[in-house]
Amino acid sequence: MNAPHTISSAPGPGSGSPYADTSFWMQTADDDLTPRPALKGDLVVDVAIMGGGYSGLWTAYYLLLDNPALEVAVIERDICGFGASGRNGGWCSSRYPLYPETLERRFGPELARRTLLEMFDAVEEIGRICEREGIDAHYRNTGILSVARGRDQLPAIQAAHAAYARLGLDDRNLLIGPEAARERINVTKLEGALYTPVSASVHPARLARGLARAVERRGGVIYEQSAVTGITRGPRPALSTASGRVQARRAVVTAGEAYLPQLAPFRRSRLPMSSMIVLTAPLTAAQWDEIGWAQGESLGSQAHTVDYLTKTLDGRILYGSRGAPYHWGSRLDETRDREAIGWMQEAVVNWFPSLRGVEFTHAWGGYLGVSRDWSPGVTFDPATRLGNLGGYTGRGVSTSNLSARLLAGLITGRETGLETLPLAQHQPPAWEPEPFRWLGVRYVQDAFRRIDQAAEDGRPPPFDTAFAHQLSEQ
């Protein structure tokens, strides 16, 4: 296999920017990635938002959509889309961050069902906004295909389907056997699949960059290359940077997701989990005939280390995994995470043996935000005037839209109908302090790797499988 590099066969206008190396998506975005002016000096606005990813941009968009006279400023450390919003696998998923059976157990069937219906609407809402705002994000309703690769993975999709059936949503989440699954895609060890017709694929960076332009058209101001160094709460909330301060009349929003723990007050609020991606060159027609995958569903297995695959619009296979280890103190270390690239390339061939020798053109990584209870949260405190949203655990493309609509309403006092959802005013517990956080997370990651490897080799599960599941239970 060829070593990964970062030269695109079809570079976008931003391919000459240093930010193009962030990901294939940023390299093929539909603008030149020129940074907007940095914040210089002090200013006062109605709402100040830290973070130019999906969470911050959707919040700004909905604030301005409903309140055109509001003064809204977004403060971004690098450029819009630099974080997970420009690096993810391109899934716009209708599935909530919690398993459906977990959602049902924690909140009851009525609220679980309503939450899942809102997720379907969030996927469709993103499509509507792309059309309304002229955002060419390659939005495609492709569906999700969660496959069982091996009989040991069947219980996971069966349990999910049973939960959907109890909630009256089995018509939107179909359990299919190995023959029907293989008609959709030809992967090794295929024992069945759970198919969700309503879910989309997007070009993540085009969505983020297009959304930033939509915010500006509606009157928002975005300052890039302006790292937030401090947050003030209370009657005069503010965001501070090295070159200026933004005071807010109504609210300050922290939308930093996996980057939020870099600020001391939020050190234990989220766990930054590495997610790495490798990308093939465009496949030939003969290779696609062998693989199938004609509908281009978002594809994943039930591996404990979590894998996800996307068929890009130009005919490549994107393979992502969360197999890179957690770093002490929630440190972000993309260089060390790249050590996972080799086995990830081999994993693609394990899925599709006919691709032995395929060229890999790109590899990149980033971080997603994980809350201690695996549940996203949207909070706004009128006393401190601090709003926060995040903790999507890898389902952020769609969940950020739902969360931002809720938060915009909480800030302005407008009812959105989302106020009773599980994420509304949900404050997850803090992660353990070090060294307990590092010891616990590393143990679970290692256990999951051993469990997956045993299943791959056809061996019995490790002796501590039940304990690892108990520690990581949603």
**Contact 348/331 with Cβ under 8 angstroms?**
no
Q: Which two tokens stand for residue 89?
A: 């696998």
Task: Identify the domain containing residue 365 by its residue range.
Answer: 139-201+271-370
- For the chain, the residue count is 474
Question: Per-residue pLDDT for 12 more than 60?
Answer: yes
- What pLDDT score does 6 carry? 35
**Last residue of one domain, picked from the residues 355, 370, 385:** 370
Looking at the domain assignment, is residue 1 inside a domain?
Answer: no
Mean pLDDT of 268-292: 97
Looking at the domain assignment, is residue 4 inside a domain?
Answer: no
349 shares a domain with 304? yes
277 shares a domain with 143? yes
Q: What share of the chain in percent tops pLDDT 90?
A: 91
281 shares a domain with 313? yes
pLDDT tens per residue, range 130-184: 999 999 999 999 999 999 999 999 999 999 999 999 999 999 999 999 999 999 9
CATH number at residue 313: 3.30.9.10
146 shares a domain with 128? no
Looking at the domain assignment, is residue 113 inside a domain?
Answer: yes
251 shares a domain with 115? yes
pLDDT band at 3 (very low <50, low <70, confident <90, very high): very low
Mean pLDDT of 395-424: 98
* pTM of the predicted model as reported, rounded to 2 decimal places: 0.95
- What pLDDT score does 333 carry? 87
User: 12 or 357, which is more confident?
Assistant: 357
**Contact 53/241 with Cβ under 8 angstroms?**
no
pLDDT band at 11 (very low <50, low <70, confident <90, very high): low
280 shares a domain with 397? no
130 shares a domain with 54? yes
Looking at the domain assignment, is residue 2 inside a domain?
Answer: no
**Last residue of one domain, picked from the residues 350, 370, 390:** 370
315 shares a domain with 343? yes
pLDDT tens per residue, range 333-344: 888 788 889 999
pLDDT band at 299 (very low <50, low <70, confident <90, very high): very high
State how many domains the chain has.
3
Looking at the domain assignment, is residue 291 inside a domain?
Answer: yes
- What pLDDT score does 166 carry? 98
Position 261, amino acid = P
- What pLDDT score does 10 carry? 54
Position 83, amino acid = G
Q: Measure the CA–CA gap between 137 and 291, rounded to whole angstroms.
A: 25
Question: Per-residue pLDDT for 8 more than 80?
Answer: no
354 shares a domain with 301? yes
231 shares a domain with 301? no
289: CB partners within 8 A, 6+ apart: none
132 shares a domain with 211? yes
Q: Measure the CA–CA gap between 379 and 409, rounded to whole angstroms.
A: 11
Looking at the domain assignment, is residue 115 inside a domain?
Answer: yes
pLDDT tens per residue, range 422-443: 999 999 999 999 999 999 999 9
Position 134, amino acid = G
Residue 239, CA distances (Å) to 70, 90, 232, 247, 257 in order: 17, 31, 6, 7, 16
Looking at the domain assignment, is residue 243 inside a domain?
Answer: yes
Question: Per-residue pLDDT for 256 more than 70?
Answer: yes
Instruction: Walk across the sheet containing 91-92 and list its strands.
Output: 91-92, 200-201, 140-141
411 shares a domain with 352? no
**Last residue of one domain, picked from the residues 342, 370, 398:** 370
CATH number at residue 252: 3.50.50.60
Question: Per-residue pLDDT for 57 more than 90?
Answer: yes
Looking at the domain assignment, is residue 47 inside a domain?
Answer: yes
Question: Per-residue pLDDT for 32 more than 70?
Answer: yes
- What pLDDT score does 445 carry? 92
- What pLDDT score does 9 carry? 42
For all residues of the chain together, what is the average pLDDT? 95
